[in-house]
Structure 1
Amino acid sequence: MNKIIVTVLLFTLSACGWHLRGSAGGNDKLAMTTPMDLVIETKDNHSPVINALRQSLGTYKINEVTESASGFTLTLDREILDKRTAGVGSDALTSAYELILRVDYRISHAGTIITPLDTSARVSRTYNYNVNNANGAAQEEELVLREMRRELAQTILRRVKNLSTKPAPAAAQ
């Protein structure tokens, strides 16, 4: 009887479209298309955003190459992190911080830039800060930053994959 209940619950859960955040579920049509090649250009080859981007390439069936036959190039300019107070407790000490992470990038095809010159991906998160547990708060901040970088990488790769499926990219203005 328990097996039947578990089976029914699993089918119900999968039927509602639920999937793990960050995973390419069945509804992500961009992840299911044919593989493409992409040249990634950046000043810092080992930045955390680049590492998150490279980890997500397989999900979107994108291969990093030095020269691309398809002609698509992703250029990452800079990563900007802004940290500001989001909440103050009754003791007049900071109780929450807001992190805003932005990455400027360009996508080009055969040497022509196809995204606007000021294109950026932006993510913001708020986390609670406990003065009495500064070490735990620092670890939480690192965890939040890692998740933000992963989300930025996936946003950029979805944009690249979306632009690669369009017939003839037009030049940005």
Structure 2
Amino acid sequence: MSVSPADFAAALRHHPAGVALMTVRDDTDDVGTTVTSVMSVSADPPLVAVGLAADGYPAEVLEAVGSCALTVLAAGQAILASRFSSAGRPGARHLLESVPWSRAPGSDAIVLDGGVVGLDCRLDRLVPAGDHVLALLAVVGVPVLREDAAPLLRLRGRYVDAT
């Protein structure tokens, strides 16, 4: 018996997932995308995995550049998650016009000052996984850490505060 992609997606809508913004700085612009498939892989060495559409521009530019930043979004940042999940979006700096941010020292990618956690990452490798790729990222720094901030979650197709 096999599960259809629609049934699979419907089932996983009931699994709450943290919401993060992945940014990559390339030669001409900053690229950003909302991701809800981030997981801790290893503490030694520090590795996280991010699921990205295999045929998407974020995976392509990450592979070309070799580094990125992840910002775990805080409760109240749902509008940013929505901005970066829509198709045909402009560059990241344009979408963050009134949002405080800085650059991660290793990747030079954008991290949001108001996020829960910012991770500065180097691409370890891309692993094919069906219609996605898993980007295994070596964490080289933690430029933002707000232990008192509540995270933003995605549940049943909506962004919800984890409070």
Class of the TM-score when normalised by the shorter of the 2 chains:
under 0.3
Higher relative contact order (CA 8 A, sep 6+): 2
| Bigger strand fraction | 2
Instruction: Point out the structure with the larger helix share.
Output: 1
| TM-score in terms of structure 2 length | 0.24
Larger Cα-atom Rg: 1
TM-score (normalised: structure 1): 0.23
